[in-house]
Amino acid sequence: MKDEQHSESAQEHAYPETTAGKPTVEDNAKVSARGANVYYGEKQAIKNVSLDVGAHEVTAFIGPSGCGKSTFLRALNRMNDTIDICRVTGDFRLDGEDIYDRKVDVVQLRARVGMVFQKPNPFPKSIFENVAYGPRIHGLVAHKSELDEIVHTSLERAGLLGEVKDRLDTPGTGLSGGQQQRLCIARAIAVSPEVILMDEPCSALDPIATAKIEELIDELRENYTIVIVTHSMQQAARVSQRTAFFHLGNLVEMGDTETIFTNPEHKLTQGYITGRFG
Ligand SMILES: Nc1ncnc2c1ncn2[C@@H]1O[C@H](COP(=O)(O)OP(=O)(O)OP(=O)(O)O)[C@@H](O)[C@H]1O
């Protein structure tokens, strides 16, 4: 049912003329949405949104509370499928392939498009097992030595190896909040994702832990495409190359981050970035 609604509406919706700025990219789109709508029951949370996420860029989603940032983010790896009353229509593509095609294996999709949540949520297992779990269930390794290699590389890339290499068999939940979030990033990296979705990844962290994650996001962009939802405009300005401003389910404006923060086109964007509302 969802698939039929999805493809039907992909044809119905043209590109919205109302989005200011430059919501699409020329030639390096990793993820594309066209005419995207998301409903919770009768309520429409995302309204005819079309945008591209450029490869090896950090794209920030900003906007006032309840504007639909997380809803749109979750539509990109079909996390909304897990919410019964949620219905998604429109065209969503990863490297040109239809994310909502009925042939898509959602587990594989979520390995390609990983997610890091607001609150660090390590499994109640050792640090090693937290990172090893994904590669094991996805059958990515044949030998223990390969698994060791993946765990070490992922922890290294997540900037955590130095702090934990002598205690890999201790519980992940025993780490500090910032370390736990880097462990969750290592866990996402371990299954070789192409895109990492981050839903307010620093909101539970202190400024020092936040600075570490922000540095890490910048480093990760070399190997991954990143989309981050953030309440902090300073954070969006620091970490992203492109920014999308949502308001009441609409994509009001999107463009390169510097333009959005210094010279936005739309009055609503100007009002939000200058703190007049939100
Ligand atoms: N599971 C759900 N069931 C029903 N409505 C929902 C659900 N999740 C979100 N909504 C509604 O959809 C709208 C968009 O919510 P969403 O969480 O995507 O916004 P947001 O911009 O990420 O907000 P915040 O910044 O506060 O996290 C809101 O009106 C919210 O109440």
Q: Which tokens is 40 given?
A: 């919770």
**Nearest alpha carbon, ligand 1 atom 9:** 71
Rounded to an integer, the average pLDDT of 171-200 is 95
Q: Which atom of ligand 1 is nearest to the CA of 41?
A: 4
Vertex 95 angle, CA 266 and 190, to 5°: 105
The alpha carbon of residue 277 and the mean position of all alpha carbons in its chain are separated, in whole angstroms, by 25
Q: What is the mean pLDDT of the chain?
A: 91
Q: Is the pLDDT of residue 85 over 60?
A: yes
Of the listed ranges 46-55, 199-208, 222-231, the one predicted with least confidence? 199-208
Contact 49, 251 (CB under 8 A): yes
Write the CB contacts of 213 (distance below 8 Å, at least 6 apart in sequence).
178, 181, 182, 185, 201, 202, 205
Q: Which atom of ligand 1 is nearest to the CA of 231?
A: 25
Torsion of CA 247, 252, 254, 257, to 10 degrees: -60
Rounded to an integer, the average pLDDT of 235-263 is 97
Give residue 204's pLDDT: 85
Give residue 1's pLDDT: 43
Strands 20-21 and 29-40 come out as unpaired
Rounded to an integer, the average pLDDT of 198-223 is 91
**Nearest alpha carbon, ligand 1 atom 3:** 40
CA distances from 209 to 176, 182, 214, 215 (A): 9, 9, 9, 10
Strands 86-94 and 97-98 come out as antiparallel
DSSP 192-210: --SEEEEESTTTTS-HHHH
Q: Is the pLDDT of residue 151 over 90?
A: yes
**Nearest alpha carbon, ligand 1 atom 5:** 40
Sign of CA dihedral 74, 64, 257, 238: negative
Q: Is the pLDDT of residue 208 over 80?
A: yes
Of all residues in the chain, the percent with pLDDT exceeding 70 is: 94
Q: Which of 39, 49, 62, 70 to mutate to test the pocket of ligand 1 (most atoms within 8 A of CB)?
A: 70
Q: Is the pLDDT of residue 96 over 80?
A: yes
**Nearest alpha carbon, ligand 1 atom 8:** 71
Give residue 29's pLDDT: 96
72 C-alpha to center of ligand 1: Å? 10
Q: Is the pLDDT of residue 30 over 50?
A: yes
> CB under 8 Å, gap of 24 or more: what pairs does 265-273 form?
265/20, 265/21, 266/20, 266/21, 269/20, 269/245, 272/62, 272/63, 272/64, 272/245, 272/247, 273/233, 273/245
pLDDT digits (tens, 9 = 90+) for 243-255: 999 999 999 999 9
Q: Is the pLDDT of residue 199 over 70?
A: yes
Residues in contact with ligand 1 by the CB-under-6-Å rule are 40, 45, 63, 65-71, 83, 231
Cα 134 to Cα 114: distance, rounded to the nearest angstrom: 11
**Nearest alpha carbon, ligand 1 atom 7:** 40
Confidence tier at 45 by pLDDT (50, 70, 90): very high
Buried b (16+ CB within 10 A) or exposed e, 22-52: bbebeeebbbbbbbbbbbeeeeebbbbbbbb
Backbone angles phi, psi at 113, to 5 degrees: -120, 90
31 C-alpha to center of ligand 1: Å? 22
CATH architecture of 2-273: 3-Layer(aba) Sandwich (3.40)
Give residue 17's pLDDT: 59
Q: How many other C-beta atoms can be found within 10 angstroms of the C-beta atom of residue 217?
A: 23
Rounded to an integer, the average pLDDT of 198-218 is 90
Q: Which atom of ligand 1 is nearest to the CA of 38?
A: 12
Q: Which atom of ligand 1 is nearest to the CA of 74?
A: 18
Give residue 6's pLDDT: 47
Give residue 136's pLDDT: 93
Secondary structure element (H or E) that encloses residue 88, with its range: strand 86-94
1 C-alpha to center of ligand 1: Å? 23
Give residue 278's pLDDT: 67
Confidence tier at 56 by pLDDT (50, 70, 90): very high
Give residue 115's pLDDT: 95
Q: Is the pLDDT of residue 209 over 90?
A: no
Confidence tier at 18 by pLDDT (50, 70, 90): confident
